[in-house]
Amino acid sequence: MTNCPTLIVTVGLPARGKTYISKKLTRYLNWIDVPTKEFNVGQYRRECVKIYKSFEFFRPDNEEGLKIRKQCALAALNDVRQFLMDEGGQVAVFDATNTTRERRETILRFAEQNGFKVFFVESVCEDPDVIAENIVQVKLGSPDYTHCNTEEAVADFMKRIKCYENSYQPLDEELDGDLSFIKIIDVGRRYLVNRVQDHIQSRIVYYLMNIHITPRSIYLCRHGESDLNIKGRIGGDSGLSAKGQEFAKSLGQFIQSQNIHDLKVWTSQMKRTIQTAEAVGVPYEQWKALNEIDAGVCEELMYEEIQQRYPLEFALRDQDKYRYRYPKGESYEDLVQRLEPVIMELERQENVLVICHQAVMRCLLAYFLDKTAEELPYLKCPLHTVLKLTPVAYGCKVESVCLNVDAVNTHRDRPSVRLTDTQPLSMSHWSCL
């Protein structure tokens, strides 16, 4: 993906959403199979100084505090080097204030010595309401403030911000014109992008220009039970069974009861999702990208039939379900690439109901819940169940709503006995089809 590793460096005063951005960006890059890790310098500081006393630690004239903070930053950079050079990492996110040119120059020298590209992400916000909300939602839950009440914590954190304000040197398009960066102003009202150098930086910029912090919910569900589901056959384009039609009506009643403002409904281009949306009784948009994984020559077969006809294919899929590609079909890895525009649009939107398919829902869930490629193909997404995802500070709250309409179970557990190194199978060796 990248010719040389990339170091993403956050810039900005406290409570400007840097860690929120870092975590989302790390999650996104890992989801698209770019090995990425976040290094939060605040966490290094908390491990070094077990008990936080007050904002005094961050005063610019506190020499001991300055020394400790510098040591923590260097420790984090050493771990960055190890991740990018020894552990196969491609992108490291260095999450800290980095508010002075001196600190940023130190990071640039470190990157140059190790052959890393640097991309700065600065968050600038002067909206007092946004800052206050960030402090309440995120900072008060920090280990720094477990020993004090809300008013004391807010007062202390505001003083901590003041400690940085006098020395803050924002990125400047003239003084820093030779650097690669994006400046995010007032949580996305405006952007300044400078010297984007490669494909990975372009994807980072595009992603950051699509995310927002407006409260919303995303509803994910599969289509109602289909005729092929009942027969235990995968893929195909069959319509809903009687139970599937019953679920579709129940889904419509559930959505109505939620009283969701300006809800958008998305489906695939397959009959079973369209029939489900029709019964919900709201306008919907069809996405080809939401179509179920293409099982190629295995379409409309039962798993037992696949095992009998194509035993090597069956074994290969159990060996690496994420990367295994059906002959003349797709892999989960392919599906993630196909779904990237859907994720981008979901990040741009507010309230959305996505009526999709098992493999598709697994990929979308893996993004929002930060699941690995190994976990993704085995996520449980039962029929006739709605998942309500509500983005919160550093993650996603999940509510599972079963609509109490019986359906067959289409989940296949991870095999208990997997192929080992003593039983190798070549991914390029296809059986006769």
DSSP string of 10-74, one letter each residue: EE--TTSSHHHHHHHHHHHHHHTT--EEEEEHHHHHHHHSSS---GGGG-TT-HHHHHHHHHHHH
Per-residue tokens: 318? 């159990």
Is 227 marked within a binding site? yes
226 labelled ligand-binding? yes
Catalytic one of 38, 122, 223, 347: 223
Hey, which residues does 118 pair with through a beta bridge?
Answer: 7
CA 344, CA 368: separation in Å to the nearest integer?
12
Q: At what angle do helices 358-369 and 18-31 cross, to 10 degrees?
A: 150
The pairing of beta strand 385-392 with beta strand 395-402: antiparallel
Structure tokens that stand for 142 in this block: 């920090």
- Does 228 carry a binding-site annotation? yes
Contact at 8 Å (CB) between 119 and 193? no
User: What is the number of H-type helices and E-type strands within the chain?
Assistant: 14, 12
| Calpha distance 194→192 (Å, rounded) | 7
The answer to whether 222 is a known ligand-binding residue is: yes
Q: Residue 212 catalytic?
A: no
Q: Is there a contact between 191 and 184 (Cβ–Cβ < 8 Å)?
A: yes
How far, in Å, are 338, 343, 392 from residue 330 at the CA level? 10, 19, 33
Q: 237 among the known binding-site residues? A: no
Which among 273, 270, 265 has a CA at the least distance from the CA of 349?
A: 265
Which contacts (CB < 8 Å, 24+ apart) does range 62-70 have?
69/41, 69/45
223 is catalytic: yes
Q: Where is 194: in which H helix or E strand?
A: strand 190-194
Q: Is 229 annotated as a binding residue?
A: yes
Q: Is residue 325 annotated as involved in ligand binding?
A: no
105 has binding-site annotation = no
CA distance readout (Å), 179 to 9, 252, 428: 12, 52, 43
Q: What angle do CA 1, 42, 111 make, to 5 degrees?
A: 40
203 CB contacts (<8 Å, ≥6 apart)?
32
Ramachandran bin of 134, using left for φ above 0, alpha for ψ from -120 to 50, beta for the remaining angles: alpha
Q: Which of 292, 313, 333, 340 is catalytic?
A: 292
The residues annotated as belonging to the active site are: 223, 292
**Residues tagged in the binding site annotation:** 222-229, 272
**Residues annotated as binding site for substrate?**
222-229, 272
